[in-house]
Amino acid sequence: MRQAMRVYAETAWRRLRRGRLLWGSAVVAVLPLLVALIGVFHGRFGAGLFDESLEIYLRLLLPLAPVLLAAQVVGEEIEARTFTFLWARPAPRAALILGKCVVYALALLPGFLIGTLLTFAVAMVRADGADVTAALPHLARVGVTVLIGVPVYTALAAGVGTLVVRHPTLAGLLYVIVIEGLFASIAGVLKATAVSFYLRALAGLQFSSTPGVWEPRPSPVAAALVALLLGAGWLFLATWLVSDAEYREAR
């Protein structure tokens, strides 16, 4: 299993380096920087601006880039018919999912971490030293959120993409828009279905509260655990589906 994962990971990395998708995802990863820059040009700065920039990050961009890369984890093999070569090998099919997910998550992480740091730097550019120092623990929590969020969303995208192999990217985008975008914004218990809800809790972002509507308020540790469990669940689903599926070549 480990050797097969390594082979798939190396191949995925080689193909990623030679393709354009990696650059597209990297651009997505640094978009919050633009939000922060616009805020600075309008005379705003500080931890408030950093948090506002992070909103777009956690609700949309953080799920979006992994969808662009990882939703195709099996679909691209079916589309190109290359799965016929892979499935004729003495290697577990699950290794394809795991190997590719490791590479996609590792490929996305630097862009997101750098994007977070740059966004913080831009948001704090006019703040005084004391404010910056006070905001550093918050930055650390956001860093941890990104470290957990990227692999969790990669697993989620792989799971959704393996569930809907014929139109995986579209399915992934719909999931992100409906669950991570819409559900996460609606007051009430539906929020708990979105990974972004737990990541916001982990990052220490403010929750909007609606009077009379009960909403879960997980602690940062509980939020991290639930997010990781959700990612593991999606990954398990993807590997289970691919192991027993009988794929036909796309015509």
Partner 1 sequence: MSEREPAPTIQLRGVSKWYGTVAALSDLSMSARSGVVGLLGPSGAGKTSLLRILVGQSRPTRGEALVLGERPWRNLPLMRRLGYCPEHEGVYEELTAIEFVTMLTRLHGFDPAESRRRAEAALERTGLADTGDKRMGAFSKGMRQRAKLAQALAHEPDVLILDEPLNGCDPLGRAELIRLIRELGAAGRTILVSSHVLYEVEAMTGEIRLLFRGQLLAEGNVHRIRELIDAHPHRIEVECDRPRVLGQALLAEEHVLRVGISGPRLVVETRTPDAAYSLIAGLALERGIKITRIHSPDDNLQAVFRYLTEKREEAA
Chain residues in the site for partner 1 (CB under 8 A):
3-4, 7, 10-11, 14-15, 18-19, 80-82, 84-92, 243-244, 246-249
Q: How far is the CB of 83 from partner 1 (least distance, A)?
A: 8
Query: Measured from the CB atom, is 88 or 130 closer to partner 1?
Result: 88
Closer residue to partner 1, CB minimum distance, 89 or 217 = 89
Residue position matching structure tokens 């669950």: 179
The smaller minimum CB distance to partner 1, of residues 82 and 209, is found at 82
CB of 15 to partner 1, least distance (A): 5
CB of 89 to partner 1, least distance (A): 4
How many beta carbons lie within 10 A of that of residue 199, not counting itself?
Answer: 29
**Shortest gap between Cβ of 7 and partner 1 (angstroms)?**
5
Residues 6+ apart with CB under 8 A from 215: 187, 188, 189, 191, 207, 209
Nearer Cβ to partner 1 (46/168): 168
For partner 1, the closer of residues 13 and 153 by Cβ is: 13
In angstroms, what is the C-alpha Rg of the chain? 19
Residue 196: CB minimum distance to partner 1, A: 33
